[in-house]
Amino acid sequence: MKVYLVTESKGSANNLRDEEKAEITCGKAHLKALKVPYGVAIALDRVLAIKRRTRP
């Protein structure tokens, strides 16, 4: 299984500048175009839950 990460290293998603929001939006669109399952996570436990959910 491959894991693709699109990261933004702010402490909170609420403090993102427009450029950072655009990067995240582009990352989501890219993964969707590739038909790669993705989820949004701000903590490791959420990343692991997404990984478990998308296992083949």
Q: Quote the pLDDT of residue 24.
A: 82
Contact 13, 42 (CB under 8 A): yes
Q: What is the pLDDT of residues 7-54, one digit of tens each?
A: 666 666 677 889 888 888 898 899 899 888 777 777 788 778 877 776
Predicted model pTM: 0.60
Decide if 7 is inside a domain. no
Rounded distance between C-alpha atoms, residue 40 and residue 47, angstroms: 8
Decide if 3 is inside a domain. no
Q: Quote the pLDDT of residue 20.
A: 83
Determine the structural domain holding residue 40 and report its residue range: 15-53
Q: Which two tokens stand for residue 41?
A: 């996570």
- Whether the predicted pLDDT of 4 surpasses 90: no
Rounded distance between C-alpha atoms, residue 17 and residue 19, angstroms: 5
SS3 of residue 4 by DSSP: coil
Residue among 50, 34, 32 nearest 42 (CA): 50
Decide if 8 is inside a domain. no
